[in-house]
Amino acid sequence: MELNEAQKRVDDWISRFEEGYWPPLVNLARLTEEVGELARELNHRYGAKTKKRGEDEQDLALELADVLFVLLVLANEQGVDLEKALLRTLEKYELRDADRWAPKQE
């Protein structure tokens, strides 16, 4: 799925409800919550923090997708075309960091 299509799908879903988009700071709080859940799972898997007894392992892919969903919501609410923005960011990294790390040897 293209990012533009994902943004449209999120907009179609949110547009079904009277409340519509939440204010930007509410969405930022939601994003922070979702990133926290992702951080918790990664910390349980790779960090020093162990899970509580009986606590299930979370689906890492779904935690990442939850973060992406809220980013799409924020982009829509702010009128940002994430596909264009991502292309600009990739170009920035490709130019700025072209010689920053050692390339893999074939």
Condensed to tens digits (0 to 9), the pLDDT of residues 34-82 reads 999 999 999 999 998 888 888 888 899 999 999 999 999 999 999 999 9
Q: Give the separation between CA 28 and CA 93, rounded to whole angstroms.
A: 25
Give residue 57's pLDDT: 82
Within 10 angstroms of residue 70's Cβ, the number of other Cβ atoms is 20
Give residue 52's pLDDT: 83
All residues at 6 or more sequence positions from 44 whose CB lies less than 8 Å from its CB, including other chains: 50, 51, 57
SS3 state of residue 67: helix
Per-residue CA distances from 75 to 40, 41, 84 (Å): 25, 25, 11
pLDDT at 106 over 90: no
**Whole-prediction pTM value?**
0.88
Domains in the chain with CATH codes: 3-96 (1.10.287.1080)
The vertex-84 CA angle with 79 and 88, nearest 5°, equals 125
Within 10 angstroms of residue 72's Cβ, the number of other Cβ atoms is 20
